[in-house]
Amino acid sequence: MTNRTAFVTGASRGIGLACAKALAASGARVVLAARDTTKLEAAAAEIPGASWAELDLASPESIKAAFAKAGRVDILVNNAAITKDNLALRMKKEDWDAVIATNLTGAFLAIQQVLHGMMKERWGRIVNISSVVGEAGNAGQANYVASKAGLIGLTKSIAQEMASRNITVNAVAPGFIETDMTAVLSEELKSAMLGRVPLKRFGKVEDVASAVRFLASEEAGYITGHVLDVNGGMYM
C-alpha cells in the first residue's frame, strides 16, 4: 500500500482506529476522521505519518471540508456510526433520521467525495463497515439495522458502477466485537450473546481490521460487491 492514502471515518477509537493502524502498518498514509478532535489528535499521534480531519457525517459541509483537507484518497473505510436504540413502536422520527443520516447517507456522501479521484487514477478501494445485524436483524434497533442493511445494498450498487474503473467496493460485517461501546453491556447480556457465537469468544477490533486491510490490498483486486462476515459464526 505504499504511496496509497487511506481515509478512515470514526477513527478516533475502536474498530476505526484499529483499521487505521493496520493500513498504516501495510504502508498506507492514513487520515483519521471523527467528530472528537481531542481523541483524534491523540489517536493520530499513535501512528507515524498520520494526519487527522474533523468530520461530522451528518453534515454535508463537514464531509466536503474533511475530504478537501485530506486530498487524494485511494482507500476509503466507512466505519463511523451512531446508535439510538428503541423499539419501533416507541422510536422517535428524529432518532430514525439521525441514525440514517450518519450511518447511511453520510457514508454515501463520503463515497461521492472519493470517486472522481479514484476514477482518474483507475484504482480505488472502498470498504464499508456494516454489521451482523444488517444481515440478521435485531429487535430494538430498526434504525441501526436499516442503515447497516442499506450499506450492503449501497456496496453492491457502487461496486457494479465502478468495476470498469478498477475500483472495488466491499463490506465487512462484524459480529460482537469487544469495544468501548460493548464494554458497558451487562454480564448477563454478554453471556447470552456469547451463547450465539460458535467460536465461543467475542471478536477483537484487530479481527475486523485484518479483514479491512485485506480488502484494501492488491491481493483483493478480484473481489468486489462482497460482504465479508467477521462474526465467529454468529450468522452464516
One-letter amino acid of 46? E
Measured torsion, CA atoms of residues 181, 185, 191, 194, in degrees rounded to the nearest 10: -20
| Nearest Cα residue to 40 out of 57, 24, 23, 53 | 53
Residue 196 CA to residue 224 CA, distance in Å, equals 29
Residue 125 CA to residue 16 CA, distance in Å, equals 16
Question: Catalytic residue among 7, 52, 67, 144, which?
Answer: 144
**H or E element at residue 5:** strand 5-9
Alpha helices per DSSP H over 88-196: 93-100, 106-121, 132-136, 142-162, 180-183, 187-194
- Say whether 235 is catalytic: no
Catalytic residues: 144
